Structure 1
Amino acid sequence: MSKLSTFIYIALFSCVLHSQTVSENTVTTQQDTIKKSEFIKQLGNGYFPTKYFNFDLRYLIKYNQYEALRTGLGGITNDAFSDKLRLNTYVVYGFRDHRFKYSFGTGLRLDEKTSTWIHASYTDDLQESGSSAFLTDKRIFQFFEPRLLNISLFHKHTTRAVSIEHQLSPKLQTETQLAFSYIVPTYDYEFVVNGASYTTFHISTFKTCMQWSPFSGFELSDNRYVETKNGYPKLTLQYTKSIKNLGKGDFNFSKLDFRLIQEFDYHNDSKSEITLVSGITSGETPLTHLYHAYPNNINKETIMQRFSVAGINSFETMYFNEFFSDKFTTMQFKHFFKPFNISACFKPQLVLISRYAIGDISHIERHQNVTFKSLKHGYTESGFEINKLIFGFGTSLTYRYGAYHLPNFGDNVAFKFTFNVTL
């Protein structure tokens, strides 16, 4: 072989070797990027992933007026453990009530393409009285839950539940649940109905929920539908029936809950959001299962004594436990202006907010040892937020006016800080 041929051979071999090395490095870099992106996504959803088990960050540390500090551990198995079987659990401890709370459950996948699962669970925990959640809201995680700090009205519940989760179509999610609960209010409360008085009670419920996202886009990936376009509006409808004498059920009542979320994107980093929530219940409904209107104001004398953290969809000037309803509607409007581009690291954003609530209650005399008002005259508040001033913190100012305006000017004002972090 001539020197020229040898040189050409060595050059070609070096090129091939270099190409393979670059290709391998590129693949490795891409894999590392995908892993990092998936890890950040899991953190954004409130999980710290490990090989077989994802720790749930919601249970690490919280604070409220009944338990004070609440801390514990929880989580759920991931697809590496099994893509057909889920196991989930948590255990927490409240330092003021000196009590452990816990839950454990399992899920079995019946069909992958329609994401059909059957779930069973047992829970012994607290729940805020007057709160209402949709079954399809599977995962709501916030780094910081503002309203939780000031909630004082809880009831203990021991609940056994079985449910079926199913996609009728990629845009239509459904879940149906049968649950049996034993309720013990943590406050002095007596429910008087049909000549009988209850301080604790059993409730057996059948519940079905549908969430429709007609303008979202979905693609089939690994035999599962993945949302590729977050479209609006999003509509959720839920029906609940409490059945007397089913199991140990004490009461007959029905609930119908509806929510609409609409977003308008103006493609200049500004947007508007409208959130409409409505609910109605009829029958023998105890206070634990009535509606509040997401209040977030503590009952203290001065504005600065009430200084706390603003919520996401809560009424900042409405005092906790001030109103309860068996029928209500709330509407919230937010307009997010384009962030002020002061520097690469300092981009505060102005948000204008207006909220309205109306409701009513029948048979208020059934609810003994508690005092609250009706929302039948309509409740209004408006204000603004300036978000992301420093490390995700901002500030908000809200004013209460209209039918429920209070005589003392300061009692109508809520001055708070905000917290917004996006991964």
Structure 2
Amino acid sequence: MAQSQEPIDVTNEPQRDSINKNLLLKSIGNGYFPTKYFNFDLRYLVKYNHYEGIRTGLGGVTNHTFSEKFRFNTYAVYGFRDHRFKYSFGGGIRLAQKTNTWLNATYTDDLQETGSTRYITDSRVFQFFEPRLLNIDLFHKHITTAVAIEHQIAPHLLSEAEFAVSNIEPTYSYNYLLNDTSYHSFNITTGIVGFQWSPFSKFEPTPIGMRETKSGFPKFSFQYTKSFKNAFKGDFDFSKFDFKVIEKIGQNPNHYGQITLVTGMAIGDAPLTHLYHAYPNNITKEKILQRFTVAGLNSFETMYFNEFFSDKFATIQFRYFLPPFQISDKLKPQLVLISRYAIGDMDNPERHDNITFSSLKHGFTESGFEFNKLLFGFGLSFTYRYGAYHLPNISDNVAFKFTFNVSF
């Protein structure tokens, strides 16, 4: 039986300050700076990518002091290279407290990376520094109106359904050829149903619903997307099936293995914006040091941006975290061994005009290591590309980058 906690002595000023500081750090670690009624979203402060240059703005969401039944969220950012504002606003109403059921609506005018997949049930992941974002150059504009309902079916099973209408325009020279028609900009109307199952995690009820208190593995995510032609002027008819599982091997938080399997398939008339790119993270430069950027968390470091696209693909990544080297109380670098594999293909590549890419049907392989937290959270990584897509020039197969890891 769990023991009851001792009451906090609010007259103890140092203890109270310590608790407030820990709560603040935890909130910042989740990506928010809290105020009385509104929590500022730190994701929107400063970012950088090749298309927008510096991207900066403000955003946030109302908190439970404002209301436990309603919430409002918004953000506005500006790109200094494309000279364009992007924004989103929306809100939600809680339908049921016990199952944490919310009905949400949003309107968004922003960019999205072409070939990326968004799992609508994914927990919020916040990083002060998003590694891949620095190198991405293939975006499409989208103006999206969406209505969604999120529902906790059971403590271990989260679901969400979304209906969205989007107007999409690639920021690059691209046309989708279908039935003697060439589309540069187009409308897509989608219905999405997603599930996330965490059978070995632990959850506790809170005033705002169930919350995960201990992360257990494996974790499973499944998502089905259906695009409806002619519904709200939708131009294409296609379906997508996406699946992801994350497994952790070992109980020691500093010494374990992690396996991530991701698969996806698009069936029908899907433009490049809604296909798959396998998360590359290598820029096209001649020399190794010219490609010295920052390594991603789950990206292929030797795969060049826009090198491969697929309408069906699978990736598997293995990371093995060795025990940290105890150099001092503050200096504890950690060696991580890495191996990645991707395979995929595309049925109708001729439909995608004004863009050149290859197939992944022969299988892409890379392996290497990271030496993390060498100094102030920074480290180094080395990855080598081999197998069917090994390049003739040896140096083109090498990715030498730095890493950045900060935890709260």
TM above 0.5: yes
Q: Offset at 1:102?
A: 0.4
- Tell me which residue corresponds to 1:121: 106
- Tell me which residue corresponds to 2:240: 255
- Tell me which residue corresponds to 1:3: none
Q: Which moved more, 1:155-164 or 1:130-139?
A: 130-139
Q: Aligned to 2:295, which of 310, 315, 322?
A: 310
Q: Confirm or deny that 1:76 pairs with 2:50.
A: no
TM-score by length of 2: 0.96
TM-score by length of 1: 0.93
Query: Separation in 1 of the partners of 2:11 and 2:255?
Result: 37
In structure 1, what residue type is equivalent to 2:277? H
- Tell me which residue corresponds to 2:202: 217
Q: Tell whether the 8 Å contact from 2:68 to 2:208 is kept in structure 1 after alignment.
A: no
- Tell me which residue corresponds to 2:4: none
After superposition, give the CA deviation of every residue in 1:162-217 in whole Å (9 maximum; x if it has no partner): 00000000100000000000000000001001121111100000001000000111
- Tell me which residue corresponds to 1:416: 401
Unaligned runs of 5+ residues in structure 1 are 1-21
Query: Separation in 1 of the partners of 2:149 and 2:21?
Result: 33
Q: Tell whether the 8 Å contact from 1:207 to 1:241 is kept in structure 2 after alignment.
A: yes
In structure 1, what residue type is equivalent to 2:49? N
Query: Separation in 1 of the partners of 2:64 and 2:289?
Result: 48
Match runs of 1:332-347 below 5 Å: 332-347=317-332
Q: Tell whether the 8 Å contact from 2:100 to 2:208 is kept in structure 1 after alignment.
A: no
Q: Aligned to 2:168, which of 180, 183, 193?
A: 183
Q: Offset at 1:143?
A: 1.1
Q: Tell whether the 8 Å contact from 2:159 to 2:196 is kept in structure 1 after alignment.
A: yes
In 2 relative to 1, CA 227–268 (structure 1 residues): closer, same or farther, beyond 3 Å?
Answer: closer
Match runs of 1:322-337 below 5 Å: 322-337=307-322
Q: Offset at 1:349?
A: 0.2
Unaligned runs of 5+ residues in structure 2 are 1-6
- Poorly superposed stretches of 4+, deviation over 4 Å: 22-31
Query: Separation in 2 of the partners of 1:69 and 1:228?
Result: 36
- Tell me which residue corresponds to 1:108: 93
Query: Separation in 2 of the partners of 1:86 and 1:380?
Result: 45
In structure 2, what residue type is equivalent to 1:198? Y
Q: Confirm or deny that 1:140 pairs with 2:125.
A: yes
Match runs of 1:231-250 below 5 Å: 231-250=216-235
Q: Offset at 1:345?
A: 1.2
Q: Confirm or deny that 1:55 pairs with 2:36.
A: no
Match runs of 1:6-405 below 5 Å: 24=9, 31-222=16-207, 224-267=209-252, 269-405=254-390
After superposition, give the CA deviation of every residue in 1:66-116 in whole Å (9 maximum; x if it has no partner): 111111111111001111111000110011111000000001111111000
Q: What root-mean-square deviation, in Å, do the aligned CA atoms of Structure 1 and Structure 2 show?
A: 1.4
Query: Separation in 2 of the partners of 1:142 and 1:346?
Result: 21
In 2 relative to 1, CA 30–359 (structure 1 residues): closer, same or farther, beyond 3 Å?
Answer: same
In structure 2, what residue type is equivalent to 1:162? V
Q: Which secondary structure state, in structure 2, belongs to the residue aligned with residue 247 of structure 1?
A: helix
- Tell me which residue corresponds to 1:15: none
Q: Which secondary structure state, in structure 2, belongs to the residue aligned with residue 262 of structure 1?
A: strand
After superposition, give the CA deviation of every residue in 1:278-332 in whole Å (9 maximum; x if it has no partner): 0000100000000001000000000000000000000000000000000000000
Q: Tell whether the 8 Å contact from 2:277 to 2:306 is kept in structure 1 after alignment.
A: yes
Query: Separation in 2 of the partners of 1:177 and 1:317?
Result: 35
In 2 relative to 1, CA 411–80 (structure 1 residues): closer, same or farther, beyond 3 Å?
Answer: same
In 2 relative to 1, CA 236–89 (structure 1 residues): closer, same or farther, beyond 3 Å?
Answer: same
After superposition, give the CA deviation of every residue in 1:248-269 in whole Å (9 maximum; x if it has no partner): 1000000000000001124383
Decide which structure has the larger Cα Rg and report it.
1
Query: Separation in 2 of the partners of 1:378 and 1:164?
Result: 38
In structure 2, what residue type is equivalent to 1:68? G
Query: Separation in 1 of the partners of 2:399 and 2:19?
Result: 44
In structure 2, what residue type is equivalent to 1:415? F
After superposition, give the CA deviation of every residue in 1:41-72 in whole Å (9 maximum; x if it has no partner): 11001111111111111101111111111111
Query: Separation in 2 of the partners of 1:71 and 1:213?
Result: 35
Q: Tell whether the 8 Å contact from 1:174 to 1:208 is kept in structure 2 after alignment.
A: yes
Percent identical among aligned pairs is: 65
Q: Tell whether the 8 Å contact from 1:238 to 1:258 is kept in structure 2 after alignment.
A: yes
Q: Offset at 1:238?
A: 0.1
